[in-house]
Amino acid sequence: MTWAQAAQSAPVVEETLPSPAMTGHFKLQTPDGRTLSDSSFHGKWLLVYFGYTNCPDVCPTVLNEIGLALNEMGPRAKKVQPVFITVDPARDKAPVLRKYMSAFDPRIVGLRGDGEATEAAAKAFHVYYRPVALGNAQYTMDHSGYLYLIDPKGKFVSLITGNLPGHGIAQELKKQIR
């Protein structure tokens, strides 16, 4: 079974998961140095994904599928602000993140912070991440693979599995966004 086939048969977390502990707050920087927080997007649905630019397959695939989902949503896509937050601030400096994000739909905002800000954002979303040594001073990142949907008032609504194709992501978003 290929990754794409597995994605199509993967279960979707559809229910609203009330979690008062999941705040969804962040305060990070764009590659051009602007500081943005979750409140910067008040009034929009936030679709947040955590990953890293050196990811060889899953992260770029998810970001591409988010772009396809936005295209499928048509005018409703204007209600959604997709956000990519790197969990590898040591390597994902502003120029690296800028170049990486240029390969994806321009509606997706890439954000980074120092180690402390990254950790705070990850905690706010209950995101797991950690470096995994590969040898020769090289490492990869292990991390959660969900898309986090936050409503226009800043309330956590649901998790969407990160291995859905664009059509599946669009369908999940359409269930919430009228």
> What is the average pLDDT value for the chain, to the nearest integer?
90
Residue bearing the bigger pLDDT, 80 or 21: 80
% the chain with pLDDT above 90: 84
Cα 165 to Cα 16: distance, rounded to the nearest angstrom? 21
How does pLDDT run across 22-80, given as a tens digit for each residue? 778 999 999 999 999 999 999 999 999 999 999 999 999 999 999 999 999 999 999 99
Which pLDDT score is estimated for 50? 98
Range of the domain at 7: 3-176
Which pLDDT score is estimated for 140? 95
CATH code, domain carrying 133: 3.40.30.10
Structure token digits, residue 48: 């947040």
Which pLDDT score is estimated for 178? 84
Cα 13 to Cα 135: distance, rounded to the nearest angstrom? 36
Cα 149 to Cα 159: distance, rounded to the nearest angstrom? 6
Contacts of 158 (CB under 8 A, 6+ apart): 13, 14, 15, 16, 17, 149, 172, 176
* 77 class by beta-carbon count within 10 Å (0-12 exposed, 13-18 middle, 19+ buried): buried
Structure token digits, residue 40: 């910067």
Which pLDDT score is estimated for 7? 41
Helix axis angle, 166-176 to 58-73, nearest 10°: 50
Number of domains present in the structure of the chain = 1
